């Protein structure tokens, strides 16, 4: 320790330079510039570390800053030794610099594989571009998915709305049909005293409505049915027995459910009477059913005709008032009024003809107009009560 304290036993470094002013100035100036630079560099590195917490291997940066600062201090001490021979202290400082330098070198060599594996700025830029492209692709996919979901949601909304409309339509039609059936039951009961006759007549009329309704339901979304199919369904029991004596003619005609119900009831009544009073009495009795849709006075008119002919010499008969009752009222008053038309039933020269005329709009109209069935139920009661 004596040597560390008694430094004056050594010569100042300036004596080695012969104290030549220019050489001393050159030596001291160079060391000062190096010290200032070596002091500024660590300050800059530590400032970056303080502001950027995400820099990897920050410990290595601290080692480099310490190593550079210590190197700068050795140069500062080199200036001091020009006049003051503090060589022991300078030696200790150089030892510290050497230790830090060695530690920095060891750490640096150990980190070489990791440092060389770090992507270059060009690689980072390329990776960033790929990520941006993938992000753009994901955004485009998400936009398409959102558009698809929006379309599917709109389709589902429309489908639900259509289902709701159809459900309301079905409920409304069912309620109207039940009203007609209820009125038919009540009015049929008034004309029959015997239970078996009442049941047979009522079941026939209900089956007539059921056939017409089932035909319409099997149609498209417009709740329409083919008139020829409806007529044949109503005549099915008669066709099985007297098919060769029944002629059905008419163009393909789609009619709405309310018209199908009314025409079915009319065909059922006419077929029942023909089976009782014509086919059973005259083996040559024939029936012709036809319909047309034609222009008349600037509007279309639907016409349905039923003709019974007894060529064997028999005479077609009208049912008696007791036998006819509600059936006659249904044919001549209720059905034409529901269809906003007219009906005529005539008997002459052994022939019976039933002619129903109605505006085509009442038969082929928009099926959204479902008020006709409710009107039918009301007319069933009003017209029969008038008789």
CA 148: distance to chain centroid? 9
| d(C-alpha 255, C-alpha 234), whole Å | 15
CB atoms within 10 A of CB 289: 22
CB atoms within 10 A of CB 305: 17
| Least confident stretch, 142-156, 319-333, 372-386 | 372-386
List the one residue out of 291, 233, 227, 234 whose CA is nearest residue 259: 227
Give me 237's structure tokens.
């029991």
What percent of the chain shows pLDDT beyond 90? 28
Render pLDDT for 31-85 as a digit per residue (tens, 0 to 9): 999 999 999 999 998 999 888 888 888 888 899 999 899 999 999 999 999 999 9
Q: Rounding to the nearest 10 degrees, give the CA dihedral for residues 302, 325, 307, 342.
A: -20
pTM of the model: 0.46
Q: Quick check: 373 and 179 in contact, CB under 8 A?
A: yes
Q: Is 22 helix (H, G, I), strand (E, B) or coil?
A: helix
CB atoms within 10 A of CB 9: 8
The alpha helices in 52-120, defined as continuous H runs, are 58-80, 87-110, 112-117
Q: Quick check: 353 and 306 in contact, CB under 8 A?
A: yes
Report for 211-220, 299-308, 377-386: range of highest mean pLDDT: 299-308
């Amino acid at each position: 320790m004596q040597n560390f304290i008694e430094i004056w036993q050594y010569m100042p470094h300036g004596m080695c330079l012969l104290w030549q002013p220019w050489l001393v100035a050159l030596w001291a100036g160079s060391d000062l510039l190096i010290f200032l630079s070596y002091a500024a560099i660590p300050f800059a590195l530590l400032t970056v570390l303080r502001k950027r917490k995400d820099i990897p291997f920050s410990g290595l940066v601290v080692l480099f800053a310490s190593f550079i600062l210590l190197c700068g201090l050795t140069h500062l001490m080199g200036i001091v030794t020009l006049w003051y021979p503090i060589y022991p202290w300078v030696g200790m400082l150089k030892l510290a610099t050497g230790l830090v330098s060695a530690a920095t070198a060891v750490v640096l060599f150990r980190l070489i594989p990791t440092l060389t594996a770090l992507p270059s700025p060009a690689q980072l830029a390329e990776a960033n571009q790929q990520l941006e492209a993938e992000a753009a692709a994901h955004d485009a996919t998400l936009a398409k998915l959102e558009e698809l979901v929006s379309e599917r949601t709109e389709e589902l909304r429309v489908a639900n709305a259509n289902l709701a409309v159809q459900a309301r339509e079905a409920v409304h039609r069912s309620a109207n049909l039940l009203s007609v059936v209820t009125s038919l039951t009540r009015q049929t009961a008034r004309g029959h005293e015997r239970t078996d006759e009442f049941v047979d007549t009522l079941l026939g009329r209900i089956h007539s409505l059921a056939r017409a309704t089932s035909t319409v339901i099997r149609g498209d979304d417009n709740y329409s049915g083919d008139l020829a199919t409806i007529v044949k369904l109503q005549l099915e029991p008669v066709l099985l027995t007297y098919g060769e004596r029944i002629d059905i003619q008419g163009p393909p005609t789609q009619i709405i459910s309310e018209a199908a119900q009314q025409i079915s009831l009319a065909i059922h009544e006419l077929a029942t009477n023909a089976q009782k009073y014509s086919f059973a009495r005259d083996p040559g009795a024939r029936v012709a059913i036809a319909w047309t849709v034609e222009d008349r006075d600037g509007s279309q008119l639907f016409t349905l005709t039923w003709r019974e002919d007894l060529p064997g010499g028999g005479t077609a008969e009208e049912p008696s008032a007791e036998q006819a009752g509600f059936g006659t009222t249904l044919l001549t008053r209720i059905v034409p009024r529901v269809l906003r038309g007219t009906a005529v039933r005539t008997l002459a020269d052994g022939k019976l003809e039933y002619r129903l005329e109605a505006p085509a709009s009442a038969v082929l109209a928009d099926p959204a107009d479902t008020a006709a069935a409710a009107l039918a139920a009301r007319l069933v009661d009003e017209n029969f009560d008038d008789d």
